[in-house]
Structure 1
Amino acid sequence: MKNKAKQLLGQVALISFVSTAAMAQDVPPLATLGPAPIPADNPMTPEKIALGEKLFWDGRLSGNGAMPCSACHLPDAGWGTATPISFGYPGTQHWRNSQTIVNSAYYNKLFWDGASRSLELQAKAAAGGGVAGNGDGSMMEMRLRFVPEYVAAFKEVFGTVPHISAAWMAIAAYERTIVTDATKVPFDRFLAGDETAMSDEAKRGMELFNGKANCISCHNGALVSDQKFYNIGVPAAAEFEEDPLYQITLRWELYQKGGRHEDYKTGADDLGLYHQTKRPDDKHKFRTPSLRELRWTEPFMHNGGLETLADVVAFYNAGGGEGQTAGLTPLGLSSEEEADLVAFLEALSMDEPLLLDEPELPETNTWAEFAK
């Protein structure tokens, strides 16, 4: 009983510390993630999730039949690509780092610039994006209708033949199951009262996170992100200066997203949130990413410009990059404090990466068989 009481007192003290640090800045304290929010217009069922899993891995939902969602969100690469910038559709080149889909169910806006407000819209945008899936909706839909297994599954789940809008709903339902397991996260176990779950270095790092380093001002709440947008001065990706295909992509994105002619002619970097708002003050702002599962999702930043967590901490310790407007200032952390902060950031990830096997995909019918 004494040990139990001591454990409970330690838990109360920890929660008090985390909450007090957050309250001092009027931000949500760090917490354990609850169940993923489910939209009322796309309820979850086991059958829908199973359908979404196959569609997530199916290249039929792309232009050339070989660029499924999983092409840029690989489980063994942290559900990203593990490259600075994501893979492009063959013949093109992408222009941003592929964000992990782990815990994407908790974001209120998707993509680095908040271009989509739901996983359903995100799936559609990615599959049809000119430098991503490059798929035509009507063609992708017809491919699904030539797969008997999909015809049966869509009828069971949605009551109709395959419709492309329903495909995005199924994929989103599946993605809402790709979330952190709190029992496997050192910080969450520590928060639940297990004082041995985090190392002494991580505990010191947590104090820095909430105090001297002030990470919690933007990385707060259960998602460890305020989901707001900031320009922290991340340098432009070197690829945009060295590779013509990257330069073509950059100029094309600046043009097709409706930027000013001046931006198109002289642009040398991603303008971020500006592409959505067209407000000059929003140039180079990107959404605060969650710090959960960072251990498995390097490199970091919207263009993969920082390779390791140590690089990220050093970047913030120096006060961010040139031209930042987020109000960052040098932190004055010692090398030991930087290492402690990295240890805490790693403690926000599961002990092992979330790995799932690729499902077996159904075959397409011939026209003669389809016509029967």
Structure 2
Amino acid sequence: MTSRRLLLGSLAAGLLTVAGLAAAAQELPPLATLPPVPVPADNPMTPEKVELGRQLFWDGRLSGNGAMACSVCHLPELGWGTATPISFGYPGTEHWRNSQTILNSAYYNKLFWEGSVTSLEAQAPAAAGGGVAGNGDGSMMEMRLRFVPEYVEAFREVFGTDWPKISQAWQAIGAYQRTLVTDPEQVPFDRYLAGDETALSEGALRGRDLFEGQAGCIACHNGALASDQRYYALGVPAAPQFDDDSLFQITLRWELYQKGVPEAVYRAGDDDLGLFHVTKRPEDKGRFRTPSLRELRWTEPYMHNGVFATLEEVVAFYNGGGGAGNTVLSPLDLDDRQQADLVAFLEALSMDEPLLQDPPELPQTQTWAEFPDEQN
């Protein structure tokens, strides 16, 4: 049995002492500064491709109604999310999950809360074409791009093709997203790792000891990303919207149905089933990927359904041992000061200021009347 499995099993059973936790934590990848962004061989980055991706990220043409750009659900001033418990839905619908920040998404090996895609290039079309997200049709979105002379020229320069292809649009957006990463020089914890002993407050230093010791956070939140990228059922409370709002209920049932769950599960479904939607294994119900702890200060609310508005609420949830259906956590018995210290350390994993960007100026669509050669 691996040290990780031993640690998680002991945590769930409440058997691990503080000393044992510290020893086991030494076998886990330590928290570290993020390395250079990994770039796939089949989508190399160039400044021109990144700039094209930046424009497309803000361009509503890549959606069903021409207005639901990627940026609608990933706004820089809202932590590159929506700052609402549940993401914005396509007009006439509601969404069903919290809009995850795309900051540092380049480091994940799987995207979305249940890890249903394995690259940024696959994530973009899944969101743009999702029925309660972008609701776009690939061929229609591609044709819209072909009616924009500036895009025709840019795609030709970047990809060497005569006309924009929708698959290339996703590559450009992926390249752009790989630039949206934490700057370690702006992060107190990274400055501390680099030798600045004044970068962390006394409370944050105590919080780090708790993180790696009594609280056991390091068991799942380890490595440079502060995530093991695995999936756990913590008993996170269901989103109240599923009880209070009929449109949210319709979305939930539709998502359960279209993701192919058995009829008995669909009929009785009253919550997001997480990883089960990918694997269809009963033991995976309610499991969600461990999110990165980087940039938490700017990316509230928290959890897959945004049910916790503050880090204090998150820490209190873990301190209490999770919720109904939890298979991992046990009570931590931290007092108020210890919980505050843990929050201080979590905030020290974020940049001093949020990463902001102004939207680009988008090119105009050319009407059919402006294509004289095509009319003859």
Shorter chain as denominator, the TM-score bin is: over 0.9
Partner AA of 2:275 in structure 1 = L
Partner AA of 1:125 in structure 2 = A
Rounded to whole Å, the distance in 1 between the matches of 2:175 and 2:45 is 6
Structure 2 unmatched ranges of 5 or more: 1-20
Q: Give RMSD over aligned pairs.
A: 1.0
**Is the 1:28–1:221 contact (alpha carbons within 8 Å) kept by the matching residues of 2?**
yes
Alignment of 1:349-364 (within 5 A): 349-364=350-365
Q: Verify: 1:94 aligned to 2:95, yes or no.
A: yes
Partner AA of 1:66 in structure 2 = A
Partner AA of 1:104 in structure 2 = S
Change (3 A) 1:353 1:127: same
Match of 2:4 in 1: none
Rounded to whole Å, the distance in 1 between the matches of 2:271 and 2:100 is 18
Change (3 A) 1:365 1:119: same
Match of 1:5 in 2: none
Match of 2:165 in 1: 163
**Is the 1:22–1:210 contact (alpha carbons within 8 Å) kept by the matching residues of 2?**
no
- The CA deviation at 1:26 is 2.2
Alignment of 1:182-201 (within 5 A): 182-201=184-203
- The CA deviation at 1:24 is 3.8
Match of 2:15 in 1: none
Rounded to whole Å, the distance in 2 between the matches of 1:178 and 1:353 is 11
- The CA deviation at 1:369 is 1.6
Match of 1:209 in 2: 211
Rounded to whole Å, the distance in 1 between the matches of 2:246 and 2:332 is 38
Partner AA of 2:87 in structure 1 = S
Match of 1:54 in 2: 55
Alignment of 1:292-371 (within 5 A): 292-326=294-328, 328-371=329-372
1:237 to 235, 239, 245: 239
Match of 2:65 in 1: 64
**Is the 1:29–1:220 contact (alpha carbons within 8 Å) kept by the matching residues of 2?**
yes
Rounded to whole Å, the distance in 2 between the matches of 1:145 and 1:171 is 17
Rounded to whole Å, the distance in 1 between the matches of 2:23 and 2:59 is 43
Match of 2:250 in 1: 248
Rounded to whole Å, the distance in 1 between the matches of 2:23 and 2:254 is 42
Match of 1:3 in 2: none
> How many residues were matched structurally?
352
Structure 1 unmatched ranges of 5 or more: 1-19
Change (3 A) 1:371 1:319: farther
Rounded to whole Å, the distance in 2 between the matches of 1:22 and 1:29 is 12
Partner AA of 1:209 in structure 2 = F
- The CA deviation at 1:269 is 0.1
Q: Verify: 1:282 aligned to 2:281, yes or no.
A: no
Q: Verify: 1:128 aligned to 2:107, yes or no.
A: no
Alignment of 1:76-91 (within 5 A): 76-91=77-92
Change (3 A) 1:173 1:22: farther
Give the secondary structure class of the aligned counterpart of 1:48. Answer: helix
Give the secondary structure class of the aligned counterpart of 2:171. Answer: helix
Q: Deviations over 1:153-193 (max 9, x none)?
A: 00000011100000000000000000000000000000111
Partner AA of 1:231 in structure 2 = A
Rounded to whole Å, the distance in 2 between the matches of 1:124 and 1:371 is 33
Rounded to whole Å, the distance in 2 between the matches of 1:40 and 1:156 is 19
Rounded to whole Å, the distance in 2 between the matches of 1:169 and 1:196 is 41
Give the secondary structure class of the aligned counterpart of 2:369. Answer: helix
Rounded to whole Å, the distance in 2 between the matches of 1:317 and 1:176 is 34
Rounded to whole Å, the distance in 2 between the matches of 1:25 and 1:252 is 44
**Is the 2:25–2:219 contact (alpha carbons within 8 Å) kept by the matching residues of 1?**
no
Change (3 A) 1:133 1:22: farther
**Is the 1:146–1:370 contact (alpha carbons within 8 Å) kept by the matching residues of 2?**
no
Rounded to whole Å, the distance in 1 between the matches of 2:264 and 2:237 is 20
Give the secondary structure class of the aligned counterpart of 2:346. Answer: helix
Change (3 A) 1:317 1:281: same
Q: Verify: 1:222 aligned to 2:224, yes or no.
A: yes
**Is the 2:25–2:218 contact (alpha carbons within 8 Å) kept by the matching residues of 1?**
no
**Is the 1:317–1:330 contact (alpha carbons within 8 Å) kept by the matching residues of 2?**
yes
Q: Verify: 1:154 aligned to 2:170, yes or no.
A: no
**Is the 2:80–2:102 contact (alpha carbons within 8 Å) kept by the matching residues of 1?**
yes
Change (3 A) 1:321 1:167: same
**Is the 1:145–1:162 contact (alpha carbons within 8 Å) kept by the matching residues of 2?**
yes
Q: Verify: 1:114 aligned to 2:115, yes or no.
A: yes
- The CA deviation at 1:371 is 4.5
- The CA deviation at 1:27 is 1.2
Alignment of 1:14-29 (within 5 A): 21=22, 24=25, 26-29=27-30
1:269 to 268, 271, 285: 271
**Is the 2:233–2:288 contact (alpha carbons within 8 Å) kept by the matching residues of 1?**
yes
- The CA deviation at 1:263 is 1.2
Rounded to whole Å, the distance in 2 between the matches of 1:25 and 1:272 is 30
Moved over 4 A (4+): 20-23
Percent identical across equivalent pairs? Answer: 74
Q: Deviations over 1:186-205 (max 9, x none)?
A: 00000111011110000000
- The CA deviation at 1:147 is 0.1
Change (3 A) 1:175 1:346: same
Deviates more, 1:20-29 or 1:122-131: 20-29
Give the secondary structure class of the aligned counterpart of 2:61. Answer: coil
